[in-house]
Amino acid sequence: MSRERLYLFDTTLRDGQQTAGVDFALEEKLIIARELGAMGMDYIEGGFPGASTTDTAFFAEERDFGKARVTAFGMTKRAGRSASNDPGLQTVLAAKSDAFCFVGKSWDYHVEVALGVTLDENLAAIRDTIKAAVSTGRETMIDCEHFFDGYKANPDYALSCAKAAFEEGARWIVLCDTNGGTLPHEVFAIVSEVKKHIPGERLGIHAHDDAGCAVANSLAAVSAGVRQIQGTLNGLGERCGNANLISLIPTLKLKPEFADKFEIGISDDGLKNLTHISRQLDEMLNRNPNRHAPYVGANAFVTKAGIHASAILKDPRTYEHIPPEAVGNRRRVMVSDQGGRSSLLAELERIGLQVNKDDPRIARLLDTVRERENAGYAYDGAEASFELLARRALGSVPDYFDVDSFRTSVERRHNAMGELVTVCEAVVKVTVKGEARMSVAEGNGPVNALDVALRKDLGIYQPFINDLKLTDFKVRILNGGTEAVTRVTIESADDSGDVWTTVGVSPNIIDASFQALVDSITYKLVKSGAPAP
């Protein structure tokens, strides 16, 4: 059976740029656009030429974005002047783009309140803008802003805006849920009505996520007949964001309800690259990836409950809706107080430790994990500390170094310039291969000073840890009150791109941090194959 083509339109570089705290540099826009092109995106909305220098510059760049049509965004011309006399519109039309997408108002209330023009003037602006863009010979579309709210308030007017653009030759009439409050059944019903006037293969959907329904609304719109979906990577976008293409793409490619009916431009390799693309964008934006993100989150295929783990080991399909590899993610069975032998054995196998399931050390390790989790450790988020615990239980971690003592101090004092400064220092004494060593360091805080001192001189092990860096540090107070203990979780990374997490627990935050630091270094030595002393 032949499948219908469904087009994907990425607006990460335009609506995604409207996310609070997101401000792409030109080079970042180009990197994202190359990734989108390589995965097979149909349209890449590069920005609003004339609105910012970066957006204008983006369209001037040489590009290599696969088959993607680079689209310039703009707004309909202002009332009271002709299209040729509207400098904003002319700047958009002058951009070196393959296509245009113009936002036009379609809610009567907005036309009157936000634009302050008559309903007829707005209709004329839509017509004249689309006519001017179509006359350039380039593909032209309209984002009918607030279409669903507009349709609920005044269906005739909302439809007349969409039809005006359609009659002037717009290739796509994109229905926008701009305020993001429309629900899936409403989207389905309204798209079904619009389809009586404009064919579905000319309709698109642009959904915002203010009610948490952007992905569901996009799918409802496709089921009702639209053939273009607009969205962004990781759901970036104004306020709560846009429909998340990182969730939509696997759904469209892997769920039979859509995959059997529609063909999308995203290749199988593009699908496999999705986890990487999602995390690369977070990295670029200096954001922590959402571990619970559908399909691509670090926890998306992680099993913690023992009953689930036992079934997953028999057949992963028991608790997985798709194979994680299809989207470039991976399966993990966690070890924690919620798991049993199956979880432990699965994790040992992943680490590469072959142990007979009846080996008495397994029961002892399980008891240790449970005791330590009772004391505040959390191994489900600290896989490197778990690996060390497991390797030690099985006798395979050398004592690379012994920490004989450490000391930290925090002092507020006047510096030589007479300024009041806080100075943190640490002294660490270790023994490496029978040789005592002492390192002293300053840091931004006591933990930073300890970290620097500990890693300053580990003798023969120094070359193995030179590229180790701490990338995250989290503190959690457990139990509360005077009995409180502190759990410190440290994320580390090295030049190979590996990232690992370690944990320390103590009533004293410095002591907990130190445990996690020592685990991080020891893990790095194990993974680097450092020889025993």
Ligand X SMILES: CC(=O)SCCNC(=O)CCNC(=O)[C@H](O)C(C)(C)COP(=O)(O)OP(=O)(O)OC[C@H]1O[C@@H](n2cnc3c(N)ncnc32)[C@H](O)[C@@H]1OP(=O)(O)O
15 contributes a contact to ligand CC(=O)C(=O)O by CB under 6 A: yes
Return the ∠ at Cα 505 (arms to 504 and 506), rounded to 5°.
Answer: 130
208 contributes a contact to ligand CC(=O)C(=O)O by CB under 6 A: yes
Shortest separation between residue 145's beta carbon and ligand CC(=O)C(=O)O, angstroms: 4
Asked if residue 159 lies in contact with residue 151, where contact means CB atoms within 8 angstroms, the answer is: yes
Query: What track of x and - describes contact with ligand CC(=O)C(=O)O for positions 84 through 123 (by CB under 6 A)?
Result: -------------------x--------------------
Shortest separation between residue 103's beta carbon and ligand CC(=O)C(=O)O, angstroms: 4
3-state DSSP call for residue 515?
helix
According to DSSP, the β-strands at 435-443 and 420-432 are: antiparallel
Q: Which does 302 bind (CB under 5 to 8 A by kind): ligand CC(=O)C(=O)O, ligand X, none?
A: none
Which part of the chain contacts ligand X (CB under 6 A), choosing from 71-79, 149-157, 246-254, 432-440? 71-79
State which of positions 135-194 bind ligand X (CB under 6 A).
145, 178
Closest to 423 (Cα-Cα) out of 405, 448, 406: 448
| DSSP labels, 178-239 | TTS---HHHHHHHHHHHTTTS-GGGEEEEEB-TTS-HHHHHHHHHHHT--EEEEBGGG--ST
Chain-centre distance for alpha carbon 99: 27
9 contributes a contact to ligand X by CB under 6 A: no
State which of positions 196-235 bind ligand X (CB under 6 A).
none
Q: Which does 208 bind (CB under 5 to 8 A by kind): ligand CC(=O)C(=O)O, ligand X, none?
A: ligand CC(=O)C(=O)O
Task: Find the binder of ligand CC(=O)C(=O)O among 206, 332, 391, 487 (CB under 6 A).
Answer: 206
C-alpha dihedral (311, 316, 322, 325), degrees to nearest 10: 150
Task: Find the binder of ligand CC(=O)C(=O)O among 10, 35, 143, 383 (CB under 6 A).
Answer: 143
104 contributes a contact to ligand X by CB under 6 A: yes
Task: Find the binder of ligand CC(=O)C(=O)O among 93, 133, 176, 345 (CB under 6 A).
Answer: 176
Contacting residues for 28 by C-beta, under 8 A, at least 6 apart: 284
145 contributes a contact to ligand CC(=O)C(=O)O by CB under 6 A: yes
Chain-centre distance for alpha carbon 502: 23
State which of positions 17-36 bind ligand X (CB under 6 A).
18
Task: Find the binder of ligand X among 38, 115, 259, 353 (CB under 6 A).
Answer: 115
- Which residue has 């669903």 as its token pair? 148
Shortest separation between residue 127's beta carbon and ligand X, angstroms: 12
Sheet of 420-432, strands arranged across: 401-414, 420-432, 435-443
Q: Could you tell me where the DSSP H helices lie in 46-146?
A: 53-60, 87-94, 108-110, 119-134
Nearest-Å Rg of the Cα atoms of the chain is 29
Separation of alpha carbons 246 and 74, rounded Å = 25
Shortest separation between residue 18's beta carbon and ligand CC(=O)C(=O)O, angstroms: 8
Shortest separation between residue 115's beta carbon and ligand X, angstroms: 5
Contact residues for ligand CC(=O)C(=O)O, defined by CB under 6 A: 15, 103, 143, 145, 176, 178, 206, 208
